Amino acid sequence: DVKVTQSSRYLVKRTGEKVFLECVQDMDHENMFWYRQDPGLGLRLIYFSYDVKMKEKGDIPEGYSVSREKKERFSLILESASTNQTSMYLCAAGDRAGNEKLFFGSGTQLSVL
C-alpha cells in the first residue's frame, strides 16, 4: 500500500507565523489532497493537485496556499497563521489508474496560539 507521511504529528505555532505542513508519498501517485478536520464540521477539502506544479482550490482555500514542485511532495502553507486555523490537517494521495482510491497520512494536529 501507499505510504503517506506527514512531517509532524503535533505542531504549535504563534499567530502571524508562516507555517509549512509537509506531505510525502512513496508510490508515484499523481493526485494529492489537503484536508482539515474539525469537530462537528468533518473533513473539508482545502487544496488538491493532479500533477506537479498544478493546484486546484477545494472548498475552503482562504488563508492557505500549496506547493507541488516534485511529484511526491505536496506542501500546505499558512502564510500568516491565525487561531481559527487550529485544526487536524490530513494529506492524501491517489492513483488515477487505480480508480483513485485515496491513501491518507496520520495527520498533523496544529495549534495556533
Partner 1 sequence: DAKTTQPTSMDCAEGRAANLPCNHSTISGNEYVYWYRQIHSQGPQYIIHGLKNNETNEMASLIITEDRKSSTLILPHATLRDTAVYYCIVRVVFDKVIFGPGTSLSVIP
Q: Return residues touching partner 1 (CB under 8 A).
A: 4, 31, 33, 35, 42-45, 48, 50, 56, 58-59, 90, 92, 94, 96, 99-107
Q: Residue 40 Cβ, how far from partner 1 at the closest point, in Å?
A: 9
Q: How far is the CB of 106 from partner 1 (least distance, A)?
A: 6
Identity of the residue, 4 or 24, whose beta carbon is nearer to partner 1 in the bound complex: 4
Would you say how long the chain is, in residues? 113
